[in-house]
């Protein structure tokens, strides 16, 4: 059997016999002569037949034939292989496709999203979606290599972890071996990465999966998302901002050279200025908001350390305190404002930094608290009970054994790509996203557990 040839390779094999494997992208049958466009992972190439057997679009086929140059007037400039075609000697239908439940020859945005998600394995075949997923891989690979070169260590942290009041609802997982106890899926690796700083790694990163039971929006996925999680020891806030700006600037200039920055270096705006001048803590600073290739990055800093608690802040102190953390309870107060923790907490600035792009927050982080006494003071101010404090005993204990000053940031990969690629929803840059009602349509998840599974876990489902 001849070795497989990819479609893109045919341009250099004129006069040679080749064996192609792929999907039927389109069919044009003119009776005495017929054409199919065969698609594989590399490109599309035209194949010519004297007669065509029963065939449908998106069927998987094997084609054996000779590569011929197209006549000059029949060259297709829209195809990378447009100067050649395959004179077919043999066609085998490997898998005949049924009639498609949705068209694949458009960008797909006009199709009801529920249908697209149900048949996501088909939806991903359309060129726009294939390009989005490949771009996602290129971005992650660039970031990983860039950090490797700067002595960062990629470390995986647990997915099954402990439920703690961190700012959003946890997804909880029952333990079979310890009946009545539950794991939580991580909202972020926040506590683990801080413990890695205690462990002395100094420069950590992870392409981290995070899980939050939050209401979905176009720019926020329900359930799970991906972030580039970074933590460093012995750094200032300026060190973090400079590193991230350098990394993303290099990444965009290399992978998306058509994109233009509104301003370099990126502006740094205080939270107060952002709210006063733009009415938002994630302002859109583009000069031309109709230009999809303009990228306006900015840093927002000097956030208040605390905000006033609302009814949504149910995880903080059972509503017994006036204050909730603006970012999270591990954010360090500005050194100049530490005396205000006792006098006027509302005026304390936090060493928080948000990365903003075209009106979206695409990353957030802070310098962390590394002094146990200040961490305990923050817990008191947000109204933590002694029981809630005990949920963080592992952190306070670790901090007794030599903890370096540290800080980090976690840019959201899904939202960042959504904005860079100009997509209307971050579900357009995720291979198998959840729908807006929290289901993974392609697998009909979530689903009911069997009585036997529930019994083994000691769980009963209450009927509403």
- 388-407: average pLDDT: 92
Structural domain includes residue 410: yes
Whole-number pLDDT of residue 169:
87
With cut-offs at 50, 70 and 90, classify the pLDDT of residue 2: confident
Task: Answer for the pair 73, 38: CB distance below 8 angstroms, yes or no.
Answer: no
CA distances from 86 to 70, 152, 336 (A): 9, 49, 73
- 184-205: average pLDDT: 96
Whole-number pLDDT of residue 319:
54
- 111-119: average pLDDT: 95
With cut-offs at 50, 70 and 90, classify the pLDDT of residue 352: very high
Whole-number pLDDT of residue 423:
96
**Which of 60, 95, 130 marks a domain boundary?**
95
Q: Mark whether 44 and 155 lie in a shared domain.
A: no
* pLDDT tens string 39-55: 999 999 999 998 888 99
Q: Mark whether 90 and 130 lie in a shared domain.
A: no
* pLDDT tens string 416-460: 999 999 999 999 999 999 887 888 888 889 999 999 999 999 999
- 19-31: average pLDDT: 95
Mean pLDDT highest for which of 215-219, 280-284, 374-378? Answer: 280-284
- pTM of the prediction? 0.93
Nearest residue to 328 via CA among 351, 298, 297, 311: 351
Structural domain includes residue 102: no
Q: Mark whether 141 and 175 lie in a shared domain.
A: yes
Structural domain includes residue 352: yes
**Domain of residue 230, residue span:** 118-443
Structural domain includes residue 1: no
Structure tokens at 134: 């490949």
Q: Mark whether 361 and 423 lie in a shared domain.
A: yes
> How long a stretch of residues is the chain?
464
Whole-number pLDDT of residue 8:
98
Whole-number pLDDT of residue 278:
97
Q: Mark whether 179 and 80 lie in a shared domain.
A: no
CA atoms within 13 A on the CB side of 46: 21
* pLDDT tens string 53-68: 899 999 999 999 999 9
CATH number at residue 303: 3.30.930.10
Q: Mark whether 16 and 153 lie in a shared domain.
A: no
Residue identified by tokens 């005495």 is 32
Q: Mark whether 90 and 169 lie in a shared domain.
A: no
Q: Mark whether 34 and 144 lie in a shared domain.
A: no
Strand partners, 225: 210
Residue 313 reports pLDDT greater than 60: no
Q: Mark whether 77 and 201 lie in a shared domain.
A: no
Q: Mark whether 77 and 159 lie in a shared domain.
A: no
Least confident of 12-26, 119-133, 218-232, 307-321: 307-321
Structure tokens at 132: 């989005």
CATH number at residue 16: 2.40.50.140
Structure tokens at 349: 């600035």
Radius of gyration of the chain (CA): 27
* Residue 455 CB contacts under 8 Å (≥ 6 apart), including other chains: none
Whole-number pLDDT of residue 98:
98
Q: Mark whether 81 and 166 lie in a shared domain.
A: no
Q: Hey, is 259 helix, strand or coil?
A: coil
Q: Report d(CA 295, CA 421) in Å as an integer.
A: 11
CA distances from 71 to 26, 75, 373, 378 (A): 21, 7, 80, 76
Structural domain includes residue 450: no
Structure tokens at 36: 């199919």
- 168-187: average pLDDT: 92
Least confident of 32-36, 211-215, 273-277: 211-215
With cut-offs at 50, 70 and 90, classify the pLDDT of residue 316: low
Q: Report d(CA 227, CA 418) in Å as an integer.
A: 13
Q: What is the mean pLDDT of the chain?
A: 93
Q: Mark whether 134 and 64 lie in a shared domain.
A: no
Structural domain includes residue 109: no
Whole-number pLDDT of residue 258:
97
Q: For the chain, how many structural domains are there in total?
A: 2
Structural domain includes residue 453: no
* pLDDT tens string 221-264: 778 999 999 999 999 999 999 999 999 999 999 999 999 999 99
Q: Which residue has the higher pLDDT, 357 or 169?
A: 357
Structural domain includes residue 30: yes
């Amino acid at each position: 059997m001849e070795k497989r040839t990819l479609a893109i390779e045919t341009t250099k094999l004129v006069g040679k016999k080749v064996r192609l494997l792929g999907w039927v992208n389109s069919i044009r049958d003119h009776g005495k002569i017929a054409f199919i466009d065969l698609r594989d992972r590399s490109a599309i190439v035209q194949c010519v037949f004297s007669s065509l057997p029963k065939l449908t679009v998106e069927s998987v086929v094997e084609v054996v034939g000779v590569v011929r140059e197209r006549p000059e007037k029949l060259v297709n400039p829209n195809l990378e292989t447009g100067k050649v075609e395959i004179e077919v000697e043999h066609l085998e239908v490997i898998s005949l496709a049924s009639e498609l439940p949705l068209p694949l020859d458009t960008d797909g945005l006009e199709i009801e999203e529920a249908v697209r998600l149900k048949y996501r394995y088909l939806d991903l075949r359309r060129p726009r979606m294939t390009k989005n997923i490949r771009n996602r891989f290129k971005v992650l690979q660039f970031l990983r290599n860039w950090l490797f070169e700067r002595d960062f260590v990629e470390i995986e942290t647990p997915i099954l972890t402990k439920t703690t009041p961190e700012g959003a609802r946890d997804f909880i997982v029952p333990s079979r071996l310890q009946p009545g106890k539950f794991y939580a899926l991580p909202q972020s690796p926040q506590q683990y990465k801080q413990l890695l700083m205690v462990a002395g790694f100094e420069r950590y990163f992870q392409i981290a999966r995070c899980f939050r039971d939050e209401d979905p929006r176009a720019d926020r996925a329900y359930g799970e998302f991906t972030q580039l999680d970074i933590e460093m020891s012995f750094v200032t806030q300026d060190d973090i901002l400079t590193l991230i700006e350098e990394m993303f600037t290099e990444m965009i200039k290399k992978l998306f050279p058509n994109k233009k920055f509104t301003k370099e270096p990126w502006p740094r705006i205080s939270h107060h200025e952002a709210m006063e001048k733009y009415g938002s803590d994630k302002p859109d600073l583009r000069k031309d908001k109709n230009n999809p290739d303009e990228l306006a990055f900015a840093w927002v800093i000097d956030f208040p350390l605390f905000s006033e608690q609302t009814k949504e802040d149910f995880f903080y102190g059972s509503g017994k305190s006036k204050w909730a953390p603006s970012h999270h309870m591990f954010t360090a107060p500005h050194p100049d404002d530490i005396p205000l923790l006792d006098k006027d907490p509302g005026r304390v600035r936090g060493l928080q930094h948000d990365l903003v792009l075209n009106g979206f927050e695409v990353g957030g982080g802070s310098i962390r608290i590394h002094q146990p006494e200040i961490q305990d003071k923050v817990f008191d101010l947000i109204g933590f009970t002694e029981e809630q404090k005990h949920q963080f005993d592992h952190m306070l204990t670790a901090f007794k054994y030599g903890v370096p000053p540290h800080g980090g940031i976690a840019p959201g990969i899904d939202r960042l790509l959504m904005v860079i690629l100009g997509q209307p929803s971050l579900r357009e840059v995720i291979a198998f996203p959840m729908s807006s009602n929290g289901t993974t349509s392609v697998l009909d998840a979530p689903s009911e557990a069997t009585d036997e599974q529930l019994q083994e876990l000691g769980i009963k489902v209450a009927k509403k």
